[in-house]
Amino acid sequence: MDAELLRQYLEFYQDLGIKTLYRQPAGLAGESACPTSAPIPMELPPLAPTNDTLLKIIEDMGDCRRCRLSEARNKIVFGDGNPQSPLVFVGEGPGADEDAQGIPFVGRAGQLLTQMIENTAKKEGIELLRKDIYICNVVKCRPPENRNPEPDEMEICGQFLHRQLSTIRPKVICALGGVAARALTGHKEGVTKMRGKWFTWQDIPVMVTYHPSYLLRQYNQEAKREAWEDLKRVLHSVYD
């Protein structure tokens, strides 16, 4: 593999948040052992094709069985909304309702998110409905019992999120909750430390805010108020 291609792969993996790569043992796949001690990937999924499209990504995912999340899922939940949207919301992973319908954020948390987007936009004088923006998740299959996705599941599914965001290339991304925030920014802090701040993903500004399920669970009016403030800033940064 030439050095430039290797550099591109390493950069791509770094963007996915993958920190550890393993050296290919001598003789595997008929290649000679790497002469350096630098870690080299064993198996490389393809880099995002040029002229990538959401349809192509869905086709490449197929009936995905790349990780254990596929075992109990009903539907792959790829994304929903306007693929030309300048604003993309990224959640954590589908819940039971999303798994049943194949659409992200349609359960209680989703209804709250939809309300928050539409009501805040209206109050701020911005004409915007949920269908105008794009919503997806870090992992596309439901984690059992709604547990957090494991690092390897996020790494495997990360290639699709990376291609999805690279294809849409929105003006702004809003990360919903700590899992999405950490996956997109590479920062390790909890959501309370990160919320209300701007980070970047591939030079695209990323605002971190609370996950709507946290707002549903919390009797904490302060968190809700903060999430509304974050959303206002996001909407004005995109639509002013």
Residues interacting with ligand URA, by CB under 6 A? 91-95, 98, 104-105, 107, 109-110, 137, 213
| Cα-to-chain-centroid distance, residue 220 | 26
> How near is the Cβ of 136 to ligand URA at its closest, in Å?
8
> How near is the Cβ of 38 to ligand URA at its closest, in Å?
36
Burial class (CB in 10 A: 0-12, 13-18, 19+), 182: buried
Q: Nearer to ligand URA by C-beta: 99 or 155?
A: 99
4-13 CB contacts, 8 Å cutoff, 24+ apart: 6/40, 8/47, 9/41, 9/44, 9/47, 12/47, 12/48, 12/162, 13/41
Q: Nearer to ligand URA by C-beta: 101 or 167?
A: 101
Q: Nearer to ligand URA by C-beta: 95 or 170?
A: 95
Query: Which run of H or of E encompasses 225?
Result: helix 221-239
> How near is the Cβ of 209 to ligand URA at its closest, in Å?
12
Is the Cβ–Cβ distance between 140 and 76 less than 8 Å? yes
> How near is the Cβ of 100 to ligand URA at its closest, in Å?
12
Residue nearest to ligand URA (CB): 91
